[in-house]
Amino acid sequence: MKQKLEALILRAVETLKNDGVLAGDLSPNIILEHTRDPQHGDFASNLALMLAGPAQLKPRQMAEKIVAALPLESSVLRVEIAGPGFINFFMNPDSQYQIIKKIHEEGNCFGLSEVGAGQKVQVEFVSANPTGPLHVGHGRGATYGSVVADLLQAVGFEVHREYYVNDAGRQMDILAASIWLRYMEECGEVLPFPSNGYRGDYIREIADDIHNTSGNEYRRPVELVLEDLPPDEPLGGDKETHIDALIDRVKTLLGSAAYQDFFQIGLKTIIRDIKADLSEFGVTFQTWFSERMLMDNGAIGQALARLQESGYLYKKEGATWFASSRLGDEKDRVVVRDNGQSTYFASDIAYHMNKLDRGYDRIINVWGADHHGYIPRVRAAMQALGADESRLTVLLVQFAVLYRGEEKVQMSTRSGEFVTLRQLRNEVGKDAARFFYVMRRSEQHMDFDLKLATEKTNENPVYYVQYAYARVCSVLRQLDEKGLSRDSLLGMDSLEQLKETHELSLMGLLTRYPEVLQKAALNYEPHQLINFLRELATEFHTYYNAHQFLVEDTALRNARLNLITAVKQVLSNGLGLLKINTPEVM
């Protein structure tokens, strides 16, 4: 409908060019928008306001010329010039009715499109360190990333979802050491726990499992553990120095093989937990990409070699640096430390090279907003690798600040004082959690009030939308109870009976759904879909209160039933895309 109008306007512009009213080289960007006010018709264009300047005419005169040049078309009822020079289009209601037929024909596919044209997109999201269960902060990135991926797929992109597992590096060593220390406690030993260690209960559970299967096999004398260790922070020392020394000690005492056992068991247990957690939350991945794999298969070396070839590496103070400042970064970055170990950034360069080599047209990283300072160096790396860095899009997700009523909830992974995603799901349910997480723009700081979300009151907007769906289902059940029949074909032939304002605006909304999907997908803005569904639910509830659907008049009844089942279909499609349930009874 919209595209048809745009074509008409384009032809009018061509006509005016031929008539010499407009310069031939002018190629105006035709903006046609749905009106907010029905008095302004169904669509409005500001074209005359844009072209008045170049054509040296007053806006309203320009508008008159455009309207005069506009080809006649039966679906356009009339055209008006209004305000400073807007052109308002009033559509023939007959054309509106088509949307109901279209929705019934296309069913679950209504709204899907091919604007993505099969382009390959990789979306990397969550990628939380596997050092503990996901907390509510990760929940937002998980929901946002998965919905963005699903939206892109819905509009015709070929999407690959990926979780980057940071299974290398110091944090993992701290995890392994933490598990072993708890294991020692399981063996009956008493020893201090480092202030920097992971304190969560899940650490004890893992240690307990190991002790149950392996007994005291990994037990070592406490004196040897503590001998000559630099003091921890509470004792006036440095916590980082302390824990690094402790890790080295654990490695020595256990030996490399046994240490790896602890490391691997910890990693596998936590990954398994995260996977299950996300899966229950409706978030799945095609690939869990291991950072260690990049180290083991030489990918990091290859990436650094490519940077070397292009002349972006140099040595300084024993370390190897990447000259990222030559490509827009604030300063140069170390890729290989003076102790010979590559940095996390080096892994990430290799990871992005891997993504590029896999041939994605578009690479999307969903990151926590605290990582924004990291973006310029990754872009620099992509350029240095000879890639078009515009293929990379980084989407930042602000943290959700948790409240319980007025009280802010403090969180720290290491101290174990955090609300897990699983706890949140148990408290408020998957539907409400997902809905809340993507209800707001991702860059917007979000206050997540646990108390409010826990109370299952009608303040929870997800119920509002689900209730609209359940109401349609309820009407259909009533049909049987009242002994009335439904004749879908008769309804389709009687659509012109739908003349009420509520009915017309409801149809107008339904028409917009495919456009909303596209816009939400291409702008990476799931909240636009949420807003649309809320609006559709509102329109429906209003209609429900204003008119009876199950009326005696067979033609009208069936026409209305076709309309509200179309609403049901679109609610189902939208909520389905968000992986939110559509209960038939509430």
Partner RNA sequence: GCGCUUGUAGCUCAGCUGGAUAGAGCAUCGGCCUUCUAAGCCGAGGGUCGCAGGUUCGAGUCCUGCCAAGCGCGCCA
Binding positions for RNA, 323-342, rule CB under 7 A:
330-331, 333-334, 337-339
Least Cβ distance, residue 205 to RNA (angstroms): 22
The answer to whether residue 168 forms part of the interface with RNA (CB under 7 A) is yes
Q: How far is CA 232 from the centre of its chain?
A: 41
Binding region for RNA (CB under 7 A) out of 151-159, 189-197, 358-366, 473-481:
473-481
Residues 96 to 155: which contact RNA by CB under 7 A?
A: 129
Q: Residue 23 belongs to what H/E stretch?
A: none
Residues 247 to 306: which contact RNA by CB under 7 A?
A: 291
Instruction: Determine contact, residues 582/469, Cβ cutoff 8 Å.
Output: yes
Instruction: Determine contact, residues 534/461, Cβ cutoff 8 Å.
Output: yes
The answer to whether residue 78 forms part of the interface with RNA (CB under 7 A) is no
Least Cβ distance, residue 189 to RNA (angstroms): 28
The answer to whether residue 84 forms part of the interface with RNA (CB under 7 A) is yes
Q: Tokens 């290989």 — which residue?
A: 336
Least Cβ distance, residue 467 to RNA (angstroms): 3
Least Cβ distance, residue 341 to RNA (angstroms): 7
Task: Kindly write out the interface string for residues 529-558 of this chain, putting x where it contacts RNA by CB under 7 A and - elsewhere.
Answer: --x--x---x--xx-xxxxxxx--------
Residues 358 to 387: which contact RNA by CB under 7 A?
A: 369-374
By C-alpha distance, which of 445, 440, 324, 295 is closest to 382?
324
Choose, by CB under 7 A, the member of 319, 327, 411, 555 that binds RNA: 319
Q: What is the 3-state secondary structure (H, E, C) of 491-530?
A: HHHCHHHCCCHHHHHHHHHHHHHHHHHHHHHHCCCHHHHH
Indicate the residue among 376 and 576 with the shorter CB distance to RNA: 376
The answer to whether residue 59 forms part of the interface with RNA (CB under 7 A) is yes
By C-alpha distance, which of 491, 485, 473 is closest to 101?
491
Residues 432 to 471: which contact RNA by CB under 7 A?
A: 439-441, 443-447, 456, 458-459, 461, 463-464, 467, 470-471
Least Cβ distance, residue 368 to RNA (angstroms): 8
Distance between start and end Cα atoms, the chain: 36
The neighbouring-strand residues paired with 393 are: 364
Binding region for RNA (CB under 7 A) out of 117-125, 145-153, 197-205, 316-324:
316-324
For 231, half-sphere exposure in the C-beta direction (CA atoms, 13 angstrom radius) is 5
**Helix (H/G/I), strand (E/B), else coil: 552:** coil
By C-alpha distance, which of 2, 52, 11 is closest to 32?
2
Q: C-alpha dihedral over 300, 170, 204, 125, to 10 degrees? A: -50
- Angle ∠(264,266,268) on CA atoms, nearest 5: 65
Choose, by CB under 7 A, the member of 298, 318, 386, 416 that binds RNA: 318
Residues 27 to 56: which contact RNA by CB under 7 A?
A: 31, 33-37, 39-40, 44, 46, 49-50, 52-53
Which tokens is 49 given? 């306001």
Least Cβ distance, residue 108 to RNA (angstroms): 22
Choose, by CB under 7 A, the member of 473, 490, 492, 504 that binds RNA: 473
Instruction: Determine contact, residues 136/402, Cβ cutoff 8 Å.
Output: yes
Which tokens is 393 given? 């899009």
The answer to whether residue 245 forms part of the interface with RNA (CB under 7 A) is no
Indicate the residue among 229 and 369 with the shorter CB distance to RNA: 369
Indicate the residue among 172 and 265 with the shorter CB distance to RNA: 172
Indicate the residue among 318 and 386 with the shorter CB distance to RNA: 318
Instruction: Determine contact, residues 451/403, Cβ cutoff 8 Å.
Output: yes
- How many helices and strands in the chain, by DSSP H and E? 20, 15
Indicate the residue among 214 and 505 with the shorter CB distance to RNA: 505
The answer to whether residue 193 forms part of the interface with RNA (CB under 7 A) is no
The answer to whether residue 243 forms part of the interface with RNA (CB under 7 A) is no
Total site size for RNA, rule CB under 7 A: 92
Indicate the residue among 130 and 210 with the shorter CB distance to RNA: 130
Instruction: Determine contact, residues 562/102, Cβ cutoff 8 Å.
Output: no
By C-alpha distance, which of 36, 85, 28, 78 is closest to 57?
85
